[in-house]
Amino acid sequence: MDFLYDLFRTALGMSVMLAVCYAFSANRRAIDWKLVGIGVAMQFVLAVLILKVNGVSVIFDYIAAGFRKTLEFTAAGSEFLFGNIVNDLDSFGYIFAFQVLPTIVFFSALSAILYYLGILQKVVFGLAWLLSKGMGLSGPESLAAAANVFIGQTEAPLVVKPYLERMTRSELLCVMVGGMATIAGSVFVSYIGFLGGVDEASQQFFARHLLTASIISAPAAIVCAKMLLPEDRLELAEVTGSATDDPHEAKQPERDQRLEMAADDSNNLLDAISRGTGDGLRLAINVGAMLLVFTALIYMLNVFFVGGTDLANDLAVYLGLTDANWNAAIAASTDGRFEGFSFTYLLALVFAPVAWVIGVPLQDITVVGQLLGLKTVINEFVAYDTFRTVQASGATLDPKSVLIAAYALCGFANFASIGIQVGGISAIAPGQRKNLTELGMIALLGGTVACLMTGTVAGMFY
């Protein structure tokens, strides 16, 4: 009975997500429903293989353990620099700057080594080949979708740099949505660290599931992109040079099926390590500064909502936000998870229906809704950090809610990513800047829906 209910909730969630893409599609008649069906089926097949089939599951357990092991390697380097602050949690507590940010630097350097040696390209090629053959994508689309799984939205476009200027709008959106729906390997490892804490079993749990989430989000991203903006035959013909004025000579335009990645331009291994370290350091500083600012902004908004200053207090009293009975009712209805009306509670209310649709148990929809809201409005780092805080506070969440939240938050789909993609991709393909700015909000919608589809799939496999 529980399985049938889970199956119903999964079918409902997936149907709603596809309906959203259909509603916002630029050309509903041109949607390739075969591709949609294959993409959705591929999500489930990959999830079954990774989570349920023993042979494949064991392989991914080893891969997840390898990612987890990088935390130990990073800790050794961090301890050399910062001493006991890193390991003496009893005295110093959990310090984000020392526990998480060094992981980003180390893994960025490690990724640069793997790319220079050609190992990462082989992994990307394998997934790209699967997506290309299974879903009928062009070579550049497949490469970008696969690269997004491992190296993130800012680096993945570099893999297909030679093709970017000649991409159609549909292909470009596919690249953008893929970046929004997945995470970079460097931050992936840091999430394992602060979601799993110091417990190795917990680290392994989140490593395995976050790895699965990032992989199965790739076909979901393609489905969303191709529903929101199906390929235009005329544009494709113009781009590929097969356009003709004579309708009798018109032929099906041929898509570029090459799976050729841009080569690494490092001079040698040491140069690759140096570049990777520099890139990781810039990312770590950016993440730390971003979290500082947005955490402070959230606190400021919460203070404003509850009347923490004279001006805010007058406004809050006028709006009735400080009413003791109302706040007591909010605390009671959420089992004390929210003390009263606040900015985070407002996000929870807005996104709670979304949390229910993707399969979150009813008693947890406000908490998971809050996390989904923080991810979309701010970013997934703040959402995961709040997730960690909720777990550390002793709040009881259904294990299924924990799993769905971990999957649904696993992506870069937020407003800031629009600017990151427009700036990053237009720097290497300036001719696409107009298309990038026009497609930004659509890419955010597609990336968000793809992450929610992944969360929906996860709910079925708890």
Q: What is the pLDDT of residue 265?
A: 76
Task: Please state the rounded mean pLDDT for residues 200-214.
Answer: 90
Q: What is the pLDDT of residue 250?
A: 46
Q: What is the pLDDT of residue 240?
A: 56
Instruction: Inform me whether the pLDDT recorded for 376 exceeds 80.
Output: yes
Q: Which residues of 313-328 are buried (b: 16+ CB within 10 A; e: fewer)?
A: beebeeeebbeeeebe
Q: What is the pLDDT of residue 403?
A: 93
Asked if residue 410 belongs to a domain, the reply is yes
- Judged by average pLDDT, the poorest of 91-95, 164-168, 397-401, 421-425 is 91-95
Per cent of the chain over pLDDT 70 is 82
Asked if residue 211 belongs to a domain, the reply is yes
Asked if residue 248 belongs to a domain, the reply is no
Per cent of the chain over pLDDT 90 is 31
Q: Which domain holds residue 440?
A: 2-238+269-460
Asked if residue 243 belongs to a domain, the reply is no
- Mean pLDDT, the chain, as a whole number? 82
Other C-beta atoms lying within 10 Å of the C-beta of residue 202: 15
Instruction: Tell me how far apart the alpha carbons of residues 114 and 125 are, in angstroms, rounded to a whole number.
Output: 14
- Specify whether the CB–CB gap between 149 and 130 falls below 8 A: no
For the chain, what is the domain count? Answer: 1
pTM, entire model: 0.84
- Which band of pLDDT confidence, cut at 50, 70 and 90, is reported for residue 157? confident
Within a 13 Å sphere around the CA of 19, how many CA atoms are in the beta-carbon half? 7
- Judged by average pLDDT, the poorest of 45-49, 58-62, 416-420, 456-460 is 416-420
Instruction: Inform me whether the pLDDT recorded for 230 exceeds 90.
Output: yes
Instruction: Tell me how far apart the alpha carbons of residues 396 and 79 are, in angstroms, rounded to a whole number.
Output: 33
Instruction: Inform me whether the pLDDT recorded for 312 exceeds 50.
Output: no
- Specify whether the CB–CB gap between 65 and 207 falls below 8 A: yes
Q: What is the pLDDT of residue 293?
A: 82
Instruction: Tell me how far apart the alpha carbons of residues 243 and 182 are, in angstroms, rounded to a whole number.
Output: 35
- Tracing tokens 């259909």 back to the chain, one arrives at 22
Structure tokens at 153: 């939205």
- Which band of pLDDT confidence, cut at 50, 70 and 90, is reported for residue 248? very low
**What DSSP string describes 75-126?**
HHHHHHHHGGGTT-HHHH---HHHHTHHHHHHHHHHHHHHHHTTHHHHHHHH
Asked if residue 256 belongs to a domain, the reply is no
Instruction: Inform me whether the pLDDT recorded for 92 exceeds 50.
Output: no
- Specify whether the CB–CB gap between 113 and 70 falls below 8 A: no
Other C-beta atoms lying within 10 Å of the C-beta of residue 440: 19
Q: What is the pLDDT of residue 321?
A: 54
More confident residue, 393 or 191: 191
Q: Is 334 helix (H, G, I), strand (E, B) or coil?
A: coil
Name 119's Cβ contacts closer than 8 Å, sequence gap at least 6: none
Asked if residue 253 belongs to a domain, the reply is no
